[in-house]
Amino acid sequence: MSIGKILLPTDGSVYTNPAIDKGLELAKLSGATVTAFYVLDQSVYSNMPMDAAIVNVYETLEKEGREAVAYVKKKAEDADVPFEEKIVEGLPASAINEASKDFDMIVMGTLGRTGMSKALMGSVAEKVIEGAKCPVMVVRSDASRKN
């Protein structure tokens, strides 16, 4: 299996950092390009009234997305790994699965921003495993082991 393009979904939480590190390590070994992928989660703002509050929520999500992608970019530059970025709107699992058709592998964390479950894999990771069009490597976070 040739790995030329690796998708690194991130939500900016500490739970994604080990997956980012593992994805960059794999990219370095295989000569792959990594794409940091952030989803502006529509479920956060889709049921809000169309007023200033939704604008603030959306702007906050955009800022978090830019910061999450910038973190991956810095790590990729430090590792001398080719880097691309993509920020999209949607539902995280659906957006990742849709993007997966353009990649050779996804490397992602087991838990997202909530970090709530120590016994179960995060629902986004589970849905991606079920629906991705390419292989998925799921990396457990040290932070998730402490819960």
Q: What is the pLDDT of residues 6-28, one digit of tens each?
A: 999 999 989 899 999 999 999 99
Given this model, what pLDDT does residue 120 score?
A: 46
pLDDT per residue rounded down to tens, the chain (147 residues):
799 999 999 999 898 999 999 999 999 999 999 999 999 987 766 666 666 667 787 888 899 999 999 999 999 999 999 999 999 999 999 999 999 999 999 999 986 654 444 444 578 999 999 999 999 999 987 754 554
Given this model, what pLDDT does residue 47 score?
A: 64
Number of domains in the chain: 1
Strands (E), the chain: 5-9, 33-41, 83-90, 105-109, 136-139
Q: What is the pTM of this model?
A: 0.86
Structural domain that includes position 141: 5-145
Beta bridge partners of 37: 9, 86
Domain with residue 58: its CATH number is 3.40.50.12370
Kindly state the percentage of the chain with pLDDT values over 70. Answer: 81
Please report where in the chains the tokens 């070994």 appear, as a residue.
29
